Amino acid sequence: MLNEETFRRHAEETLALAARLRQVRRLFKTEGGHLTGAGRALLAEGLKTGLSTAELAELLEVNPAVVRYHSRQLQQPVHGQTRLHTARRDHAEPELAFEAS
């Protein structure tokens, strides 16, 4: 059973976590609800890893139509490659070079 002190501590921790989450969300969305560059990069990474439109919309707290719009933008060709292909290349894991002994 929770006593008043334990309840108060949990409430303060929850409020602090909620404030921190709002700070993080501002990295991905503007006050007007538009995705920032970081938000679009997160969306591209989510698409690359197979997240659904609904999952990405929930994660970014946007309408699924916003996810579909940016997905279409990523599929448009730029210099012969899609933006998603370019994003995959730009965010690829670096290859490690090992010296032969």
Bigger pLDDT: 98 vs 28: 28
- Convert the pLDDT of each residue in 28-85 to its tens digit: 888 888 899 999 999 999 999 999 999 999 988 899 999 999 999 888 665 666 555 5
Please state, as a whole number, how many other Cβ atoms lie within 10 Å of the Cβ of residue 35. Answer: 19
Rounded distance between C-alpha atoms, residue 83 and residue 100, angstroms: 36
Query: Does the pLDDT of residue 17 top 50, yes or no?
Result: yes
The string of DSSP letters for 32-57 reads TS-B-HHHHHHHHHHHHTT--HHHHH
Q: What residue has token string 């995959």?
A: 88
Fold classification of 4-90 (topology level): Arc Repressor Mutant, subunit A (1.10.10)
In terms of pLDDT, which residue wins out, 2 or 66?
66
pLDDT on residue 78? 58
Q: What is the model's pLDDT at position 22?
A: 84
Q: Is the pTM of this model over 0.75?
A: no
